[in-house]
Amino acid sequence: MNIITVKDYQEMSEHAGKLLIEKVNSKRKTVLGLATGSTPEGLYAYLVKKYKEGNVSFADVQTFNLDEYVGLDGDDPNSYMHYMKHHLFNHIDLPAQNAHLPSGTAEDLEEECNAYEKKIEDAGKIDLQVLGIGLNGHIGFNEPGTSFKSRTHIVELDASTRQANARFFDSMEEVPTQALTMGIASIMNSREIMLLVSGEGKAETLVKLLEGRVTEDFPASILHEHPNVTIIADEAAYSKIK
Ligand code: F6R
């Protein structure tokens, strides 16, 4: 794994943005894997800025997000589709039909998962997957114990994950209990992965990732087995690494 340490959140976002833009500018039909959460917000702001300055176009890009809550449609302010529109899609030239998220309101969720997986294959695989990491080591919504062989599937969200995400909802009861997520094998199938880690709160998580062993009890540990992973961590996140 290639580890890049930067000063703070701002630098992490800019560094990630530069790498992503380089990728998009180097291949006409780039396929991007995208994440939601607090971590990539700065990255998306940087991409919007660079798009507006004319440094990058997303007209030929396809995007696939990692996950979506079950039961929330794309207009729900807490859906990940809404998050993506708000932070990125509404501000760039990515054609709406090129932006993919699994639908958490599909009638047949199993079928939706299989169709999503096929769509990624049909697009020719993800060239660059952006990841954040949960405190428990989850990537996407793949909680500890998820099989490394998993493909896009339905998950029951961990109490700790619901708790961590409750900040976006009015009450704990409103936080969905299920989500659709790309699986670990789906993520590992990407040609390149960029994991962003920021803040003191993630410092212990980064220690577990970098110093721990590869185990399904800590999903992100599988990244040690991917041939092309870059971790961009800020000083606070990196502060507990020996
Ligand atoms: C979001 C996702 C999650 C987040 C993780 C970290 O699409 O897949 O795995 O990356 O929960 O979230 P933040 O960035 O809010 O700390």
Give the ligand 1 atom nearest the CA of 37: 15
* pLDDT on residue 158: 82
Nearest Cα residue to 62 out of 96, 39, 88: 96
| Per-residue exposure over 119-155, b if at least 16 CB sit within 10 Å of its own CB, e if not | ebeebeebbbbbbbbbebbbbbbbbbebebebbbbbb
Among candidates 127, 129, 18, 116, which has minimal Cα distance to 68? 116
Selecting among 138, 142, 153, 165, the annotated active-site residue is: 138
Tokens standing for 179? 């989500």
The number of the ligand 1 atom at minimal distance from the alpha carbon of 131 is: 10
User: Residue range 80-94: average pLDDT?
Assistant: 98
The residue among 180, 174, 150, 127 whose CA lies nearest residue 20 is 127
67 is catalytic: yes
Report the chain's terminal Cα–Cα distance, integer Å: 17
Query: Does the predicted TM-score (pTM) go above 0.75?
Result: yes
The strand pairing partners of 100, in sequence order, are: 64
Q: Is the shortest distance between the CB of 104 and ligand 1 below 6 Å?
A: no
Nearest Cα neighbor of 150 from 67, 79, 234 is 67
Instruction: Band the pLDDT of 67: cuts 50, 70, 90.
Output: very high
CA count, 13 A, side-chain hemisphere, 34: 32
Listed in sequence order, the residues at least 6 apart from 135 whose beta carbon sits closer than 8 Å to its beta carbon are 160, 164, 201, 202, 204, 205
Nearest CA to ligand 1 atom 2: 140
Q: How far is the CA of 38 from the centre of ligand 1 (A)?
A: 7
Q: Does the Cβ of 24 fall within 6 Å of ligand 1?
A: no
CB of 35 within 6 A of ligand 1: the answer is yes
Q: Residue 4 class from Cβ within 10 Å (0-12 exposed, 13-18 middle, 19+ buried)?
A: middle
Burial of 82 (C-beta count, 10 Å sphere; 0-12/13-18/19+): middle
Q: Work out whether the CA dihedral 4, 63, 220, 23 comes out positive or negative.
A: negative
Phi/psi for 84 (5° steps) reads -65, -40
- pLDDT at 57 (0 to 100): 98
> What's the topology of domain 2-238?
Rossmann fold (3.40.50)
Phi and psi at 28, nearest 5°, equal -60, -45
Higher pLDDT, 165 or 127: 127
Q: Is the CB of 163 under 6 A from ligand 1?
A: no
> Which pLDDT score, from 0 to 100, does residue 60 have?
97
Q: Report domain extents, the chain.
A: 2-238
Calculate mean pLDDT across residues 99-115.
Answer: 98
Mean pLDDT of 203-218: 98
* Amino acid, single-letter form, for residue 84: M
Percent of the chain scored above 70 by pLDDT?
Answer: 100
**Cβ of 182 below 6 Å from ligand 1:** no
